[in-house]
Amino acid sequence: MLLNRLSRIVQVGSKLTTSLQCNRLRTSSPIRRSLCQAAHPNGALFQISDDKIQKYLERLRLEYYALKVQEQRTRKDIQRMLLLSNVVEMYEQRKIIVDNLSSLKELKDDKDDEMVQLLKEEREAYGSILFRLDSEILNGILSMDDEEDYGSLIMEVTAGVGGQEAMLFARELFDMYCGYVEYKGWEVEMLQTEDTDIGGTRHATTVISGPDAYRYLKHEGGVHRVQRIPATEKSGRIHTSTVTVSIIPRPDDFQVELKEKDLKIETKRASGAGGQHVNTTDSAVRIVHLPTGIAVECQTERSQQKNREIAKQKLTAKLMQIELEARFSSTQALKKSQVGQSLRNEKIRTYNFNQDRITDHRIEGGTAHNLKGFLEGGEQLDDMIEKLRRSQRRKQLMDIINRECEQ
């Protein structure tokens, strides 16, 4: 009878091992490192066996099955189910392993040498499976993000302190994010850009759409500081400039429609330096949005039609920002908290060209090198954002668990 019982336990363990391997294939990625060493703020490690985390995992399990039995589920419900499914499955497997280990303890008084050896081997096997399960569960809950996600976002990149040098770096940062969007397979729509004659950017506004785009890019909001010798600097002095990045979430159902009856469009002769390139046609365009009184102008192109299109893009961007700020009462505070006053000491990240170094000031170990590769917006930037996500999630998880215990 004992042998039959042990046989059943071995079979269960074998199935769990296979299932665990499948889960690891689904959840692992070459960039995500093991999160098992995620430190508690006081230096201790998260332990899945801790009562607080067990309570949190049980709440996730109940949430998952409540969603599963719903007759009608929204897209957001389905996304949440997918997010929970792996963690819940591994949590349930862990409970079976713990129960089986308890069953083995009931047999510890057996005197048969062969049985004692068999029990020892089974305990070791289950202990190994339990260790791997705890590792994967911790990986899963630390990679989850309980904050609301959005289908798209508005990103604003604006030159701060530093004049032309700040504008040049604003362009480099904007290009970096365009490269990152391509790297992640997201979509980008340009709303507004104000470029300079020497290749810089005063301000650029884009809409970025894609899975988890907001969850990743929200960490980029803030003041970015650059330290380098400008190309125009003859004395070789290092200048410090800033660029601000703001990230505003955009709900899936959000749209801004420009109606022609709401627009007052004026044309005039573009102003300029004169000479052989003086504009002899009414190519400059000014558009007033009558319901709000917002006015925009554009005279960057020689074609009136192109200037009209750009002016409409600028107006759309402004209306979109106003509407989002009205919908999210905290958006203005969010933007202010991200960009501050664009001062040099209000930085989230420093790009030091002389030392070929990037330092993110929000996380430990936030220093990387190879600025050229980082500014391409590929794997290096993604790696930095992953570190930021893990750091935030650790703090978020501790807050959630502590709240669970207070209830």
Q: Are 160 and 226 in contact (CB under 8 A)?
A: no
Would you state the pLDDT for residue 62? 93
Instruction: Identify the band that residue 1 occupies on the pLDDT scale cut at 50, 70 and 90.
Output: very low
C-alpha–C-alpha distance, residues 271 and 274, integer Å: 8
Would you state the pLDDT for residue 28? 37
Would you state the pLDDT for residue 168? 94
Mean pLDDT of 143-160: 79
* 365 CB-contact burial (10 Å; exposed 0-12 / middle 13-18 / buried 19+): exposed
Q: Is 343 helix (H, G, I), strand (E, B) or coil?
A: coil
Instruction: Identify the band that residue 256 occupies on the pLDDT scale cut at 50, 70 and 90.
Output: confident
Q: Over the chain, what is the mean pLDDT? A: 78
Q: Are 216 and 130 in contact (CB under 8 A)?
A: no
Mean pLDDT of 214-235: 88
Mean pLDDT of 125-145: 83
* Residue 183: both structure tokens together: 């790297």
Least confident of 133-147, 202-216, 285-299: 133-147
Rounded to 5 degrees, φ, ψ at 399 are: -65, -45
Mean pLDDT of 380-396: 88
- Cα-trace Rg, the chain: 28
Would you state the pLDDT for residue 194? 86
Instruction: Identify the band that residue 213 occupies on the pLDDT scale cut at 50, 70 and 90.
Output: very high
Would you state the pLDDT for residue 281? 59
Q: Where are the alpha helices (DSSP H) in 144-212?
A: 163-184
pLDDT at 358 over 70: yes
Would you state the pLDDT for residue 189? 87
Would you state the pLDDT for residue 254? 66
Give how far Cα 15 sits from Cα of 18, 19, 75, 87, Å.
5, 6, 32, 17
Pair type for strands 222-228 and 349-352: parallel
Instruction: Identify the band that residue 403 occupies on the pLDDT scale cut at 50, 70 and 90.
Output: low
Between vectors from CA 159 to CA 329 and to CA 326, what angle results, nearest 5°? 15
Would you state the pLDDT for residue 35? 34
Higher-pLDDT residue of 158, 120: 158
Would you state the pLDDT for residue 169? 95
* 252 CB-contact burial (10 Å; exposed 0-12 / middle 13-18 / buried 19+): exposed
pLDDT at 243 over 80: yes
Least confident of 103-112, 129-138, 150-159, 390-399: 103-112
How large a percentage of the chain has pLDDT more than 90? 29
User: Which pLDDT tens digit goes with each residue over 33-91?
Assistant: 333 333 343 334 467 887 888 888 998 999 999 999 988 888 878 888 988 998 999 99
Sign (positive or negative) of CA dihedral 195, 201, 203, 206: positive
57-66, 173-182, 214-223 — most confident range: 173-182
Mean pLDDT of 321-328: 70
Which residues, including other chains, have CB under 8 Å from residue 146's CB and lie 6 or more apart? 396, 400
pLDDT at 111 over 80: no
Q: Where are the alpha helices (DSSP H) in 200-246?
A: 213-217
pLDDT at 270 over 80: no
Would you state the pLDDT for residue 226? 95
Would you state the pLDDT for residue 188? 93
pLDDT at 340 over 90: no
Mean pLDDT of 302-314: 82
pLDDT at 276 over 50: no
Least confident of 20-29, 69-78, 124-133: 20-29
C-alpha–C-alpha distance, residues 226 and 349, integer Å: 9
Would you state the pLDDT for residue 361? 93
Higher-pLDDT residue of 72, 399: 72
Instruction: Identify the band that residue 201 occupies on the pLDDT scale cut at 50, 70 and 90.
Output: very high
